[in-house]
Amino acid sequence: MAGMRRISVSLAPKTVRSIRLFGLLVAQLCAYSMLSALCFACPLYLFDCSGSSTLYGAVAAIAFIPGVLATPVGGILADRGRHRGVLVVLGIVLMAASLLFIPMKRSLPLAVVVVAMLCVQYGIQSLLKPMLQIETVRMTGQEKVERATALVSQITMMSNILGPVVGTAVYGCFGIDALCETAALTFAMSTLLFGGTLKRNASSGMTGDSTTCSTCRSDFRESIRYLFQNASLLVVFLLAAILNLALVGLTIGAPVIVAKHLGMQSSFVGIIEVAMGLGGLVGSGLVGIWPHRFSFKGICRYVAMICFGVVPIIAALLSGPDELAFAALAAGSAWVMAWASITSVEIVSFVQRSAPKELCGKVLALVYMTLSCATPIGQLVYGLAYDRWTPAIVFAGMLAVLTLTTALFYRLKSRLWRLP
């Protein structure tokens, strides 16, 4: 009996940590899914009310800016700790914003209200990412960075699938008010889970002295200075930016190819979106299940696999019938996003292992900010490209960029650092 008692006592901390990790992951899934649902449905509601695609695009572009600007702040908050209190406050703000949207849209210009709503959503999402990434690593264990990063990636991919589905279903059946009320209830549940799963004033073991009076500006400059002093991290940042910039062509191109090039109904775009989401989920799932089979040493190989997925899409667009082209686009998109997800997990894991503990959150925030900046640039570039050239030519350009980037990175990596 005494031996059994000692075993149960020794297992208790692991069990508690597992329960807390599960609660944290559920909270992330709820929060990210409803953020995705609102960011999808609110611009759609504006388009349905105004009928203006120009206004729709302008609102989406303007609302993206606060997310980019808030990302460095999220990194600073992540490094200073006390995540529990910050996450609870952010959850309350999301809940209040969702409820305030209902009366405000009746008394103020709709475009202004939608912009304000999206600014809050994108801004808070950027604040959440670094903190939740660090907390997940802390609960999983510093020696399991890849597995923790894969878990966060899986949650993100699942929310990207669930969010538009939930947003479309609730908004289409019950209206935007019901969606906002559902979002507020879900954010309330996430807030309770954040408060219950995280330790009070948990610092993730990565914070500096909380009594320092350094400002956000000096903290951000410190992370920028460290980045430019570390050639290996700088090259990784450039790789991540170029990779994200190239892959935007796939997400932007899906509706163009389906509606204009193949002449299919816009509902088929949803199939491509689901295929990309499932591909990303499978990729991050593979890293989570077999973390030791993937490493940053294989980053060039993973990007090469992305290139292999683009080739059949180009071939089908050039010579195949519409059905074959659509099937190739769906399968190729899933393949590309699976390897892109694996690449993303390894990049984030490499950054977390390489950066000092006191700068980890801020450097991670720079990664997210770089990727965020690449997205609107890619949307602009590819939007112009699809208007001027055929999708096959645009995808060929994407393939050329990815191939040259892979070759250059392969040449540089052995000179810049010895990989861990």
In a domain, 104, yes or no: yes
Q: Are residues 223 and 190 in the same domain?
A: no
Q: Are residues 228 and 365 in the same domain?
A: yes
- Whose CA is closest to 128, among 202, 60, 32? 32
Q: Are residues 80 and 172 in the same domain?
A: yes
- Sign of the alpha-carbon dihedral angle for 230, 236, 239, 241: negative
Where a domain ends, among 204, 233, 267? Answer: 204
Domain count, the chain: 2
Where a domain ends, among 204, 223, 247? Answer: 204
Q: What is the pLDDT of residue 50?
A: 76
Contact 420, 296 (CB under 8 A): yes
Residue 172, amino acid: G
In a domain, 127, yes or no: yes
Distance CA 61, CA 54 (A): 11
Distance CA 97, CA 184 (A): 8
In a domain, 101, yes or no: yes
CATH code assigned at 176? 1.20.1250.20
Domain enclosing residue 20, as ranges: 12-204
In a domain, 4, yes or no: no
Phi/psi of residue 213, nearest 5 degrees = -105, 20
Neighbours of 122 (CB within 10 A): 22
Q: Are residues 219 and 131 in the same domain?
A: no
Helix (H, G, I), strand (E, B) or coil at 187: helix
Contacts of residue 329, defined as CB under 8 A and 6 or more positions apart, other chains included, come to: 254, 257, 258, 272, 313, 316, 317
Neighbours of 293 (CB within 10 A): 10
Q: Are residues 157 and 282 in the same domain?
A: no
- Can you list the residues of the chain whose pLDDT is less than 50? 1-11, 202-213, 419-420
- Whose CA is closest to 419, among 320, 323, 297, 262? 297
Helix (H, G, I), strand (E, B) or coil at 384: helix
51: left (phi over 0), alpha (psi -120 to 50) or beta: left
Tokens encoding 10: 């020794």
276-285 tens-digit pLDDT: 888 888 888 8
Where a domain ends, among 155, 181, 204? Answer: 204
Q: Are residues 248 and 180 in the same domain?
A: no
Distance CA 277, CA 256 (A): 18
Q: What is the pLDDT of residue 212?
A: 39
Distance CA 142, CA 156 (A): 21
204-245 tens-digit pLDDT: 444 444 443 455 566 667 777 777 777 777 788 788 888 888
Distance CA 76, CA 37 (A): 27
Q: Is the pTM of this model over 0.85?
A: no
